[in-house]
Amino acid sequence: VGASLKDVAKLAGVSVKTVSNVVNDYRHVSEGTRSRVREAIDQLGYRPNLTARHLRYGRSGIIGLALPELGIPYFAELAEEVIAAAERQSWSVLIDQTDGRGDRERLTSSGARSRTIDGLIISPLALDADFLTAMRAELPLVLLGEQVGPGVADLVAIDNVTAAREATEHLLGLGRRRVAAIGDQRVSAAGTANVRLQGYRDALAAAGIAYDPDLVVPAESYHRPDGAAAMRLLLSLADPPDAVFCFNDLLAIGALRALREAGRRVPEDVAVAGFDDVEECRYTAPPLTSIAPDKAAIAGSALDLLVSRMAGAGPAEPAEVTPPFTLAVRESTTGVSAGV
Amino acid sequence: VGASLKDVAKLAGVSVKTVSNVVNDYRHVSEGTRSRVREAIDQLGYRPNLTARHLRYGRSGIIGLALPELGIPYFAELAEEVIAAAERQSWSVLIDQTDGRGDRERLTSSGARSRTIDGLIISPLALDADFLTAMRAELPLVLLGEQVGPGVADLVAIDNVTAAREATEHLLGLGRRRVAAIGDQRVSAAGTANVRLQGYRDALAAAGIAYDPDLVVPAESYHRPDGAAAMRLLLSLADPPDAVFCFNDLLAIGALRALREAGRRVPEDVAVAGFDDVEECRYTAPPLTSIAPDKAAIAGSALDLLVSRMAGAGPAEPAEVTPPFTLAVRESTTGVSAGV
DNA sequence: CTGAAAGCGCTTACAG
DNA sequence: CTGAAAGCGCTTACAG
């Protein structure tokens, strides 16, 4: 099912070089030759074989995108943006799901070593700085999120400390004084939880409120059931919180469920804020206040960085891009309906 | 960044053929030679260049997955399953987002014509049977969903008529008599809406209830806001419904929102059922009853069909696989809490 | 058990 | 303006 340059050349009565010239729109092809070749191409239904072209060029035109799982709305929405941005620049995107497991994250680099992908955008959960540094030496690499700090490889992440501080300040600004946090992770390398916890503590300190470890509940993973379990724990406290900042939206959605089951009103009894601003936030009961990272900017920056790395450009030092975010205020904290 | 077979051969003092034999684990290589080659491979950090291998074989090891958008949870969850199944069989998955637009859906086949993908799993919204038939002649193709009927190409879809009938019967079984439907589409080729509407009508007929066109509300697209708008329309009726079957979960989630805003109780005033059983269903207020297609089975069947087509196997006639589904009953229809 | 050669389909100096 | 040849890295008959 495929005519080659040679077939076209034979039919048009020219050399393959000439056909190649026509296909690639080079100058210096006479009009007559060009149209003869065009006709032969149409007649045979010729399409260039990209695999062969890629072998010649030493690149594939495909980039990898490694994420924990597409079932998590934040990653699905991010993947949507990355693919859309890539398509605009004629790159194809191959998706790898890592489940946040180190072995699978490490495997993502093998696609590059075997020349299937020209570069990789990865949201690493388990890989450490050493491994990522080694990876970066082998393939153009862009890191997403704050799991590892800057200086390891090109990095795209919003300012999580500030974002978490603003979310907490918003809750404090509503007059809440017992503000809990859900999503702490007592794993050494858990950068995301650490920076968000830092912002939470900064806000408390600035407001002159003592840090109460009882109000900080860990979450093993960042799924809805984890948030519900954590909220139940908080509700069982002798002095329960009047507000809770969840380190992602799924945790917050679980917390809303636990509050509903316990008959607590949101936000009257407990105000709830999340992080990521996934679509679902607009339709929870009540709609969820959340930190809204600019996902299109994150995806666009990541792709731009990767493209320039793949072109061999960019500074020797890893770059760091910090896309903007906003706080999307909704009824789960203010009680005011914003309509649909 | 890349030693070739030739480099390894030189270092090991053998021919490239011998190295190739070792790499591909062929018999008939003496132990001494094998270990010498192994050492050279390790020393040079040699990895086979898949692009070259693919050129030789005429295939890429990559399949395409074309979906409307990853931002829709059902498609994200389905993509998750397809990628997981593909990885188990060492296939890589390249994702294309079509937005349901015909021009973008047509483009997905060009990846195949240029040998980037060996086959395509597509959930078509806009393509007609003629185009798909032509596409099928050019590349191994598997269709997802019921937008087009059987006989065009290999097709994987649950029995939508039966599923819609069961959902409606469930509502009727609760004693509801004014059961509405949200998600009708007055577009000619809109197979999904048609088959689900058929199941709805079948259930009404079997129960001896007259079909009331006022209770069937169209939806331009299947997103949350469309469901909310449709529900508001139903609530404005002189004789509003006491139950509503939504053709997908996002519509149902929008309907829940409109009901909440209008102060109606679910399910006491209006029972609500959806379709797809996305994760979010378990955490809506109240949790949403929904038709639950076996997504892993859908993904697995689609991949198996595609793999056998790519291998040149399979009958000349298009195959049809009908994975199972269940009705996940939750509080939005029964009012009984199932816990978390 | 191992080697030399051809070829997958393309592009690119190098000639003319 | 066009052609003949080499080579990207691999595998596979064909010899030996």
Peptide bond preceding A240 in cis form (omega within 30 of 0)? no
Top-confidence residue, A154 or B339: A154
Q: Which residues contact B96 (CB under 8 A, 6 or more apart)?
A: A83, A87, B64, B65, B66, B67, B104, B107, B108, B111
Residue A43 contacts B where some CB pair is shorter than 8 Å = no
- For residue A75 the two structure tokens come to 């990653």
Q: Does A221 touch chain B (CB under 8 A)?
A: no
- A264 touches B at CB < 8 Å: no
Give the nearest partner residue to B51 out of A51, A84, A282, using CB atoms. A51
Please report the number of interchain residue pairs, chain A to chain B, with beta-carbon separation below 8 angstroms.
Answer: 144
H helical segments located in A89-148? 102-107, 110-113, 129-138
User: Where is mean pLDDT largest: A236-250, B28-42, B146-160?
Assistant: A236-250
Shortest CA to C1' contact from A18: nucleotide: D2
Residue nearest to nucleotide D4 (CA to C1'): A15
Looking at the predicted structure, is the pLDDT value of residue A328 above 90?
yes
pLDDT value at position A10?
A: 86
* CA-based nearest residue in chain A for residue B252: A283
pLDDT tens digits along A254-277: 999 999 999 999 999 999 999 999
Please answer whether residues A63 and A35 qualify as being in contact, where contact means their C-beta atoms are separated by less than 8 angstroms.
Answer: no
Could you tell me the CA-to-CA distances from B242 to A163, B206, B237, B316 in Å, in that order? Answer: 44, 19, 12, 49
pLDDT tens-place string over residues A13-38: 888 888 888 888 877 788 888 888 88
Residue A340 has pLDDT above 70, yes or no: no
SS3 content of chain A, % helix, strand, coil (to 5): 45, 15, 40
- Distance in angstroms, CA of B316 to C1' of C12? 43
Pick B270 or A5 by higher pLDDT.
B270
Buried b / exposed e along A297-322 (16+ C-beta atoms within 10 A):
bbbbbbbbbbbbbbeeebeeebbebb
Number of CB atoms found within 10 A of residue A45's CB: 11
pTM for this prediction: 0.93
* Closest approach of A328 to chain B, Cα-based (Å): 18
Chain B residue at shortest CA distance from A61: B116
Give pLDDT, residue A177. 95
Could you tell me the maximum CA-CA distance found in chain A, to the nearest angstrom?
89
**Encoding tokens for residue A185?**
């992770």
Q: What is the mean pLDDT of the segment spanning B263-269?
A: 96
Start-to-end CA span in chain A (Å): 52
Q: What does the alpha-carbon distance between residue A268 and residue A276 come to, in Å, rounded to a whole number?
A: 23
Cβ-defined contact of B254 to A283 (cutoff 8 Å): yes
| B31 CA: nearest nucleotide by C1' | C1
pLDDT band (50, 70, 90) for residue A188:
low
Interface test with B, best of A53, A70, A99, A330 (most B CBs within 10 A): A70
Measured at the CA of B224, the angle between CA B246 and CA B282, to 5 degrees, comes to: 70
DSSP letter at B318 equals P
Average pLDDT, chain A: 91
Q: List the structure tokens of A62.
A: 């495909």
Residue of higher predicted confidence among B124 and B32: B124
Give residue-wise pLDDT tens across range B159-212: 999 999 999 999 999 999 999 999 999 776 568 899 999 999 999 999 999 999
A225 touches chain B (CB under 8 A): yes
Report pLDDT for B26: 79
* Residue B36: pLDDT over 70: yes
Q: Which nucleotide is nearest to B57 (CA to C1')?
A: C8
